Amino acid sequence: MAASIRDASFYLKRIKDLPSALKENMRKLSAEVSSHRMVITSIQGISERLKLEYTRESFSKDCLKNYATIKQFLENFNLDLVPCSIPVDLDFSSDIFVTLKANLANDEDVSAVQGILESGRAPQQKDMIHIKHVLIL
């Protein structure tokens, strides 16, 4: 039986039972992102920092899927990757940003639209700018 590769998909399946070393590394990354608002790194940097078993070849084999899986894994810790979509030319060592996951509850436009919905009143012309901004999100 082949040994499992301990990449983001491996840990996503075990998200409730992560090794303590990985939890500690995630705590440190979260603290750094919270302190600096973002961390500039690469897939290689994330892999080294979190001890994820990606190589240039294994990541490039299915770049889009691997990027999405890493992004999904980080979202479990209220972190996010930028760019949010996967660029075509993403390389193992390309710069990416790790940021805090956006909290739309703090967004003025989202709050305004939620207020309209909760009150049950019909939107007025002055509300359209908020609705337009929310639809862009």
For residue range 57-69, what is the model confidence (pLDDT) as tens digits? 999 898 889 999 9
Query: What band does 29 get if pLDDT is binned at 50, 70 and 90?
Result: very high
d(CA 7, CA 47) in angstroms, rounded, equals: 8
d(CA 10, CA 66) in angstroms, rounded, equals: 11
Query: Do 25 and 41 contact (CB within 8 A), yes or no?
Result: no
Any idea which of 18-27, 54-63, 84-93 has the lowest mean pLDDT?
Answer: 84-93
For residue range 103-122, what is the model confidence (pLDDT) as tens digits? 777 778 888 888 888 998 89
Give the closest residue to 80 by CA, choosing from 49, 44, 37.
Answer: 37
Domain extent listing, the chain = 8-102, 105-136
**CB neighbours of 7 closer than 8 A, spacing ≥ 6?**
52, 53, 54, 58, 66, 69
d(CA 11, CA 50) in angstroms, rounded, equals: 11
Q: Would you say residue 77 has pLDDT above 50? A: yes
Q: What is the pLDDT of residue 1?
A: 44
d(CA 20, CA 43) in angstroms, rounded, equals: 22
Return the CATH architecture of domain 8-102: Orthogonal Bundle (1.10)
